Each structure stands twice: as structure tokens, then as C-alpha cells.
Amino acid sequence: MARFIVTVPLPMPLDPAPDTPAIAHADPTGATLRPTGPTAGRAQQLAERYALRIQQGLAAPGSRLPSVRECARQHGVSPSTVVAAYDQLQARGLVEARSQRGFFVRAPRRHDGGPAQAIPAPRNPPVDATALIRGMFATARDRPGPGSGLLPPDWLDAALLQRALRRACSQGDPGLRYGEPAGDPGLRRQLSLRLADLGIDATPQQIVSTTGATHALDIVARAWLQPGDAVLIDEPGWAVEFARLSALGMRLLPVPRGPQGPDLAVMAQLAAVHRPKLYVTVSVLHNPTGCSLPLATAHQVLRLAEAQDFAIVEDDTYAWMAPNHAPRLAALDGLRRSIYVSGFSKILAPNWRVGYLAAPAPWVDRLIDAKMISSLTTPALTEQAVAWCLEQGLLRRHAERVLDRLDRARSRTLRLAEQAGCHPVTPPQGLFGWMDTGLDTDRLAEALLDQGWLLAPGSLFLATRRPSPCMRINFATSQDPGFWRDFESARVALQR
């Protein structure tokens, strides 16, 4: 079991050094400690709060705790209580004190009967991406997260999922054998029809099922790339994709992304200099900006890909929240040098990890080989359940109901956001809004985490982490006026 070692003595309370990011100090129940009487009781509460954040991975090694004075002010306790709490964290090996600088989260160490060895820190973006994901799981269940990437549970159709599973179980083999390497044939036939609605001509033989869209993206990267290869990405873009590609050893080439799509001049220059193998993009309802590629931009991206000989991976994760006629690169390209990726977890349920990719016919065997190496096959039972939902038109009708609710939620959330001093950077569409707050959203995220609100600050969506005044909000989970009141209070306090 991993544990921590403390080697540095406790210093006097000092303001933290300005060059090290502070950790988010969160408690779902609020910032002020419960009045339990003796100072020792409040110190224990405070220590447990920080210990939980560190053990959940929400405070990366090397992150700085607030200064003693700042922590005392935030939690409504005396400085001596904070010192006692930090002392407990040191005794447990979770933090260390650095002379004249403050208190810092320690890197974990493991023991194998010999000297303590530091566990290597992950490469750059993954810490930030996994912190957001852990936070999504750790956020209080009864309070939605404005930074969430999911629909609220009560928007989903549990009865539909139960019917679909019962149908799949009654129709054939209930998962007693491995499925086909390419995926369930019935699902692939239905997906071929679904893609035709989007203007994408793909036979069932060109489609490979996966365990969610993220798995599909991983299969493509493992089949196409070698460590050190260059990959074009949108910036802002999805932090998990940055983290995944970085962990595989790829060189990320960020291309600025705005309402009109990627900056084509920057993309052309990067492609000419670095000769990338792939461009990974979200063409429709881009995460986090919500924008979709204009038709003219899509054509120019395809021309550039042909001229510079790189493939395009089109992530259409939010396809069911977008109109069928929205320009898809795979449709315009005819699946010649593009791979189309999508899935169902965003519209059906987060834990229904059914995804797929569609690719040029000559590339399919290579992708199936990569899939088998990573997961052997995919679960046929849930694939058959999704196929039935598609065949019966039930998924389409469910999506229509979701879109109707989302339109109303978007209007309400935008009104609340503007009243709180935010404005959209890009035209509001789909599930996400890209909002300008006028302040460093890392600082806002830290302040609001203490109130139980999980934000998705703009820095998470940048390939190289740096301050950003933007944040991504989920229109469906940001309708609580209480959040916006807390947001406005935190914003005003930080402006002072």
C-alpha cells in the first residue's frame, strides 16, 4: 500500500509562494466548519477535508495548500486550528512544509522492502483531466455539477433501457460467448442506416463497434501512431483527449478553434512544418465551445488534409443532439481519408459504453486488430439492445424529447449566467456553453468547490495549461439559481 513520508519541519504560517498553483480546497457541505467545541475537533474536520481531496487525486502532487491566514479566513476558524490541521496532514504523510514557501501536497512513495521510491508523476495534461473526471464522480449526488459532461439522470429513459435489455436477452445468446471481433452484426447494420441519415455512406463491413467513443479514439491512435508522431488538435479541446494522446507519447499541435472552426492558416503552417499523421477534431457541437464547422471551412480542412497527407478522426460524440444535416467531414470526404467516431453514452446512459467507428474499407482490418489487442471483443448484449432501440425508432424519439428539454434549459441557463455577469463567447448550441467570466476561472473553481459546485475552468481545455477567463457550463445541469448566486458572490469577492 502506498504511503507518504514527511521530512520537512513545520514552518511559521506564511503566504504561499506566487509561482506554484494552489489546490482546490473543497467540502460539499460548505466552507465553514461545524462548531464541535474544542479546537482539536475543528482541526480534525479540516484535516479530513484536505485528506479526502488528496486521496481522491483532486490535489496533484506539488500543489500548494492555502496559506494559514487564508485558510483560516475561508473556513471561519483561528490560525491555530489551521496549523493543527496541517500538522495532522504532515503526520499522515500527505503534505510537506517548505521553508519560507508554505505547505505542499507530497508525491506518493511506495515501499517494496527497500528504500522509498517516488512514483513517477504523470505527463503534463493528464493530471488536470483526471482531476475533473474524479471530481465528477466525487461531487455530491444530490447536486448537479455545472462542469459536468452528462445529461441529468432524470432526463434519461431507464424504462427504455430495461426493455431493450430484456429484448436482447430473449432473442439469443445472453453473452455466454465472445462476440464477433468487428461487433454485433445487427448493430452494424443499424449503424449503417443511421450514418446514411447523416450523409455518410458506410457499409456494415466498414463499421467496428467499441466500448464507447473514447475507446474508438484510442483504437485509432494505437493503430495509426507511434510515440513521437505529431497530431493536430483543436484548442480549446477536450482535456481527456489531450491526456490520452500525451500518455501515448504523441506530440500535440494545438490549432486555435473559434466560431468559424479551426484557424486554417495556423493549421497549414503546423502541417507543413511537422507533417502530422492525424487531425483529431469535433466538427459538430464542438466540446467545449458548442460550435459546428461551417461548410466552407469543412471543405478547406479536407483540402489541406489531402495536400499534407494526414488522416482526420472526426469525433461526433454529441451526434444525437445535433441536426442530421450539420456538415460532417466524413460525409463530405466519403470516408476516403477520414474515420468517423460516435457513441451512445451521452444520449442513453453514461454506463452504456457502446461506441463505434466507421472507416475506409482498406483500413478496417487494421482497426479490428487494434481493437482485439485492447479488448478482445465488445459486449454483444448491450450492442443488441442498442440495435433494437435504433430499429424500433425508440432512440430517435427519446433524443427528440431530450432536445426539447435542452432547448428550454439553455434559455434559462443563459439568462441566469448573464445576470451573474457572464456572456457566451460563441453562439450557444448543444449541451455546452463557453462562457467568459472576466476572471481567472481556476480561482473561481477553487472558490466554488468549497460550496460543492464543480466547475470546468477554461485552462482544462488548453493543451498547455494557462489561466483562462472562460469556463464550460452544461446547460442541463446549470439551471439552479443557487449556483449562480454562489458564483456571483465568488466573482465579486475575487474582483476585490
**What domains appear along the chain, each with residue ranges and CATH number?**
1-121 (1.10.10.10), 126-155+396-495 (3.90.1150.10), 159-392 (3.40.640.10)
Instruction: Count CB atoms within 10 A of the CB of residue 205.
Output: 12
Per-residue pLDDT, averaged over 213-234, amounts to 96
Residue 399, C-alpha cell as written in the block: 433524443
Q: Nearest Cα to 409, choosing from 152, 187, 97?
A: 152
Name which of 75-89, 125-139, 149-163 the model is least confident about.
125-139
Burial class (CB in 10 A: 0-12, 13-18, 19+), 104: buried
CB 450 within 8 A of CB 464: no
CB 80 within 8 A of CB 68: no
Instruction: Count CB atoms within 10 A of the CB of residue 423.
Output: 12
pLDDT digits (tens, 9 = 90+) for 54-66: 775 657 788 888 8
The DSSP code for 275 is -
Residue 175 has pLDDT above 90, yes or no: no
Chain mean pLDDT for the chain: 85
Per-residue pLDDT, averaged over 168-179, amounts to 76
pLDDT digits (tens, 9 = 90+) for 448-482: 887 888 889 999 899 887 889 999 999 999 999 99
Q: Quote the Cα angle for 388-391-392, to 5°.
A: 85
**What percentage of the chain reaches a pLDDT higher than 70?**
82
Helix (H, G, I), strand (E, B) or coil at 193: helix
Q: Nearest Cα to 345, choosing from 314, 367, 365, 315?
A: 315
Residue 310, C-alpha cell as written in the block: 494526414
How far, in Å, CA of 206 to CA of 187, rounded?
A: 12
CB 343 within 8 A of CB 317: yes
Residue 309 has pLDDT above 50, yes or no: yes
Residue 30 has pLDDT above 70, yes or no: no
The DSSP code for 309 is T
